[in-house]
Amino acid sequence: MVKRQTVWLSTMMVLSLMLIGYYTMNNGNEVTTGRNQGTSVSTSTTSATGSGGSESGSGTQSGSGSTGQTNTSSTASESSDFFIQMQTQVEQQISQQEDQLMQVISNNNASSSDISNAEAQLKVLTALDGGIKNATDMILAQGYTACAIVPTPGQLDHATVYVKASKLSASDAVKIMNIVSQQLNIPISNVVVKMHA
């Protein structure tokens, strides 16, 4: 019973962390770019904003002229930080869950059913971790400079893929969805692709 509570508490903690990450980065406008055999291809442009705020589209700038270059480098750095942060967060959450499951498996007081359940969940997490790494490498091989794959909290058969791109066609999004679907062994309809410039 204690082990079930431990697994439940750890699951709730991971869900909370994932929701915080989701709401932190999901501040862009989501638009539907197309449909493929009943599958919705959805992209969203999100932008990281620092303490100075976001750049406006009016093109008006004041100063010596080096300001634009500084803003561009700052934005590029924030964008890279976003992908590193997301990838690190996912890796840490998977690692924490694996550690907790290993504690259940190695606990002499755990029931055989608890151990069996923990072993099954550990296999799923190990496969998920490997699938995320393979899919990330394959997406980067398509020419994208950064990518982060985030499983949906509480639904390991759903995932959101963030790619660094200024534009993303429906066909490109479907290619990414196919990669993630195959590597994570989840339905393509459960994969959402979003842009993060």
Please determine, for residue 138, whether its predicted confidence score (pLDDT) is greater than 70: yes
E strands, the chain, are 29-36, 39-46, 147-152, 155-163, 191-196
For residues 12 and 135, which has the higher predicted lDDT (pLDDT)?
135
CA distance linking residue 120 with residue 103, whole number of Å: 14
Residue 59 has pLDDT above 50, yes or no: no
Q: Which residues contact 110 (CB under 8 A, 6 or more apart)?
A: 3, 104, 118
What rounded mean pLDDT belongs to the chain? 74
pLDDT at 40 over 60: no
Sheet order of strands, 39-46 included: 29-36, 39-46, 191-196, 155-163, 147-152
More confident residue, 176 or 58: 176
The matching CATH number, chosen from 1.10.287.4300, 3.40.50.2000, 2.60.40.420, 3.40.50.300, for 2-47+75-196 is 1.10.287.4300
User: Going along 88-190, which residue ranges are E strands?
Assistant: 147-152, 155-163
Residues 147 and 157: beta-carbon distance below 8 Å: no
pTM greater than 0.75 (yes/no): no
Task: Look at residue 11 in the predicted model and tell me its pLDDT.
Answer: 55
pLDDT band at 154 (very low <50, low <70, confident <90, very high): confident
Mean pLDDT of 143-170: 91
| pLDDT at residue 79 in the model | 64
